[in-house]
Amino acid sequence: MAKPPKENSPITEHLAYLLAQANREINRQLELRLSKEGVPVEQWRILKVLSDGDGHSMGELADAVLLNHPTLTKMIDRMVSDALVYRVQDPNDRRKVLMFISDRGKVLCKKLNSLAVDQEEHIVESYGDKSTSELKRLLESLIDSSN
Amino acid sequence: MAKPPKENSPITEHLAYLLAQANREINRQLELRLSKEGVPVEQWRILKVLSDGDGHSMGELADAVLLNHPTLTKMIDRMVSDALVYRVQDPNDRRKVLMFISDRGKVLCKKLNSLAVDQEEHIVESYGDKSTSELKRLLESLIDSSN
DNA sequence: CTTCAATTCTTGAATATTCAATATTTTCAA
DNA sequence: TTGAAAATATTGAATATTCAAGAATTGAAG
């Protein structure tokens, strides 16, 4: 049982496909919740990372929120317009821009966090506590082993 | 241990984030392999689904390869230009279009399959046989429980 | 010190994706 | 049978993403 895929095995047995499928489904659900506040998932991630109150450079942020640099720049432009975050030039290295969350951003982030927590609780309900934490553990270790 | 995320837990503890991260990484690796043949991951998926030789409607395909309809239509347009697949109107329901893989498509698909198998083997090597099959099992069951 | 390579971020053009609307065919109720 | 609603696929405009190039700053070798 659970053999490695042969050349002609269905695509649904490939790890890459299962990950894509699971990611798509969970992301779709999360998107649905966050749309109550009209915010895309990526913006929630950005707010969440910045909510430690420290300044984060664009490069750091891009890694953390899984966006490449130009896409992040343009998304940050929108968020600055919405006064959720703001830019400050790094005094120690003036090539860098440090991003900070605004008060308005913090308020929004709290609301989004609770919507996201709702979702995780919903998953745990239907999928099980044990499975959820085991899945998280395995995903973390897969990510580790890929670096 | 392994508590559900609190409102202020780091984003890296959320299942949605771990899935996105793992998916991104594995997909990046697969993309890299398939780029040897100059083919995007989605086209490999399409070829693989069609390689059963049956005709598949666009809607069926879109579900199977995780693309929405207009995106699939445009990708299929390109693949038809490259003579990898072809369209046939469904004789039983003329609203539908049935997609088939061409001989050229089959040849390419074989090459892509072996590149993809290489990757899975590489994952199994560094991540472990046990973990891989356990992860697959958990992902399948997560997907199931989400429908 | 100077210059050249590397780092960081942004920009603009090219490309891809998505949303809404359209065309066609089928289904089904009246 | 007819006509309205549903299903299927495509199209075009709006939006978003990506690639390649550019601007600014830093690092570091000569």
Q: Tell me the average pLDDT across B91-100.
A: 97
Distance CA B16, CA A3 (A): 27
Determine, for residues A66 and B24 on separate chains, whether the beta-carbon distance falls below 8 Å.
yes
Q: Tell me the average pLDDT across A17-36.
A: 96
Q: What pLDDT band is residue A129 in, cutting at 50, 70 and 90?
A: very high
* Closest by Cβ to A19, choosing from B16, B22, B113: B22
On whether any CB of chain A is under 8 Å from the CB of B14, the answer is: yes
B62 Rama sector, left if φ>0, alpha if ψ -120 to 50, beta otherwise: alpha
Flag whether pLDDT at B81 surpasses 60.
yes
**For the residues of A77-136, what is the DSSP string, one character each?**
HHHHHTTSEEEEE-SS-TT-EEEEE-HHHHHHHHHHHHHHHHHHHHHHHHH-HHHHHHHH
On whether any CB of chain A is under 8 Å from the CB of B5, the answer is: yes
Buried b (16+ CB within 10 A) or exposed e, B77-95: eebeeeebbeeeeeeeeee
Q: In chain B, whose CA is at the least distance from the CA of A131?
A: B138
Nearest-neighbour CA in chain B from A93: distance (Å): 27
Please tell me the predicted confidence (pLDDT) of residue B8: 75
User: What are chain A's domains?
Assistant: 26-127 (1.10.10.10)
Predicted complex ipTM: 0.91
Task: Give B105-124 pLDDT, tens digit per residue.
Answer: 999 999 999 999 999 999 99
Question: Which chain B residues touch A26 with a CB distance below 8 Å?
Answer: 15-16, 19, 142, 146
CA of B73 to C1' of D10 (A): 7
Nearest-neighbour CA in chain B from A38: distance (Å): 18
Please tell me the predicted confidence (pLDDT) of residue A103: 97
